[in-house]
A = this chain, B = another copy of it.
Amino acid sequence: MLKYSKQRESIKNYLDTHRIHPTAETVYSAIRQDFPNISLGTVYRNLNLLADRGEILRISYGSGPDRYDGNTKPHYHFICTSCDTMLDLKMEPLMHLHELAEETFEGIITNHVTHFFGLCPECSNKKNF
C-alpha cells in the first residue's frame, strides 16, 4: 500500500509546474530548496514509482541521463543536438504507427517511441549569424 510522503508530493508538484524535462539531478537540486535533507536516492525512487504508476513520464534518448515529464498526455519530444534542450512538439502523435508496423511483423506491437533531433529555435538562430 502506498503511503503519502511530502517528498514525493513535492517531486510530483515540481514536475507538474516545470515542464522543462528535468533530469533526476535537476529535480534533486530544485526539491532541495524545500527539503535540504532529501537524498538523490529518494528522488530516483520516487521518480521511478511515479513513472511506474503512469503519473509522470520517463524519457530516455540515448545520451546523458534520463529526463522526466509531468505531462503524461501522449506527445513527441524534440532534443537539440547542440544544447541538449528537450522540447515538446505540437505535432499530433501518430497513434496508428504501430498498427502500420504490425502489418509486416509477426509479433505484437503495443507502442512506439519517437524522438526528433536537430537544432532548437535558439541554437538554429545562432548558427544563422
User: A residues engaging B (CB < 8 A)?
Assistant: 58, 60-63, 66, 76, 78, 80-81, 87, 89-91, 94, 97-98, 100-101, 103-124
What CA separation (Å) do A66 and B112 show in the bound complex? 18
- Whether A91 contacts B80 in the complex (CB less than 8 A), given A107-B119, A117-B110, comes out as no
- Whether A112 contacts B106 in the complex (CB less than 8 A), given A62-B60, A101-B76, comes out as no
Residue of B80, B91, B108, B117 near A100 (CB, 8 A) is: B91
- Whether A124 contacts B101 in the complex (CB less than 8 A), given A60-B60, A112-B115, A113-B117, comes out as no
Complex copy number for this chain: 2
Known: A80-B107, A109-B118. 9 other contacts (CB 8 A): A78-B107, A78-B109, A89-B105, A91-B105, A107-B121, A111-B118, A112-B114, A112-B116, A113-B117
